[in-house]
Structure 1
Amino acid sequence: MKAVNPNAKVEEDAWTPEELLDFIEQKGEEVAPGIGSLAAFMMYQFTNGKKPLPVIVITEL
């Protein structure tokens, strides 16, 4: 016996690969200013002798 809901609706992703890549690019552009501000804040903390925050490295957007 399995604990499966027979009435559950199946959600399928209908995005094309092109639509998905466009969406990811758009979201990357939206978060880029925030990432830049965070990087500047972290650099400020580091250069002023304060304990730095953990670093997240992004190689490409």
Structure 2
Amino acid sequence: MGAGAKADVAERLYEVLNELVGDKGIEVETGGLGGMMDVRLRNWGGVSVMVESGNNGRG
């Protein structure tokens, strides 16, 4: 695993992602970042998510 963002940066990215997904009409439910959540998933096929930080792994 690579290095993660600092908590304040990670939380803002989490909020922005939820807003963008919600703006597309997809139902989004949230919890506290880092908190325990009861998550159910219905898998209809594969999903890939690519996140590029632009720092080429240099933290």
Greater Cα radius of gyration, structure 1 or 2: 1
TM-score, length-normalised on structure 2? Answer: 0.40
